[in-house]
Amino acid sequence: MINIDLTDLVQMEKIKYSSKSQLARINTEAWASKHLKCQCGGDLHQEENNKKVVDFTCIECGRQFQLKAQNKKFGTVLTGAEYYTFIEYLKNHTMPDFICMHYEMHNDVLTVKDLFIIPGEKITADVVIKRKPLSETAKRAGWTGYNLDLNKLKMWYKRLDY
């Protein structure tokens, strides 16, 4: 008789998942720094992981970029991180351009399906949608996320050749 411990399976599934999303992040960032250039023609320098809002800086003109990569098509909203941090950043800094990448990954091989830029100057408070704070029972109770309203932004999309 084979004895399967389900808690072990769940654990394994979690590890598999986190390493998969991490792998996707590493792959998409590497792809972007290799294939994409700034509108001025300059190469993109990849920033340290702890710089949360800025992922790349143009080595020629200093323009900043954030990479938003997801393995599904872009719909009407773009999921962001913490709302208050973002609003604070919006008030005090120049918003980086958002590089939006729709990718597929099969057997660790990355295929880019769609790619466009949202200019940072178009990302203003009126396109930021505050989400409901996480419930009391959640691990991060009170944590509040945000979405960007892509319906208001899609007229500014700049498609990228790659």
> With contact defined as beta carbons under 8 Å apart, do 79 and 147 qualify?
yes
Q: How far is the CB of 67 from Zn ion (least distance, A)?
A: 16
Nearest residue (CB) to Zn ion, 42 versus 145: 42
User: Measured between alpha carbons, how far is residue 52 from residues 41, 49, 154 in Å?
Assistant: 24, 7, 24
Residue ranges in 33-62 that form contacts with Zn ion under rule CB under 5 A: 38, 40, 42, 58, 60-61
> With contact defined as beta carbons under 8 Å apart, do 122 and 156 qualify?
yes
Q: How far is the CB of 43 from Zn ion (least distance, A)?
A: 9
CA distance linking residue 134 with residue 138, whole number of Å = 6
Torsional class of 41: left (φ above 0), alpha (ψ -120 to 50), beta (otherwise): left
- CB atoms closer than 10 angstroms to residue 20: 13
Nearest residue (CB) to Zn ion, 60 versus 149: 60
- Binds Zn ion (CB under 5 A): choice among 44, 47, 63, 96: 63
Residue 61 backbone dihedrals phi, psi, to 5 degrees: -110, -10
Q: How far is the CB of 60 from Zn ion (least distance, A)?
A: 5
Nearest residue (CB) to Zn ion, 20 versus 34: 34
CB burial of residue 98 (10 Å; 0-12, 13-18, 19+): buried
Nearest residue (CB) to Zn ion, 80 versus 96: 96
Q: How far is the CB of 123 from Zn ion (least distance, A)?
A: 18
Q: How far is the CB of 103 from Zn ion (least distance, A)?
A: 24
Is residue 123 within the footprint of Zn ion (CB under 5 A)? no
Nearest residue (CB) to Zn ion, 62 versus 75: 62
Q: Which residues bind Zn ion (CB under 5 A)?
A: 38, 40, 42, 58, 60-61, 63
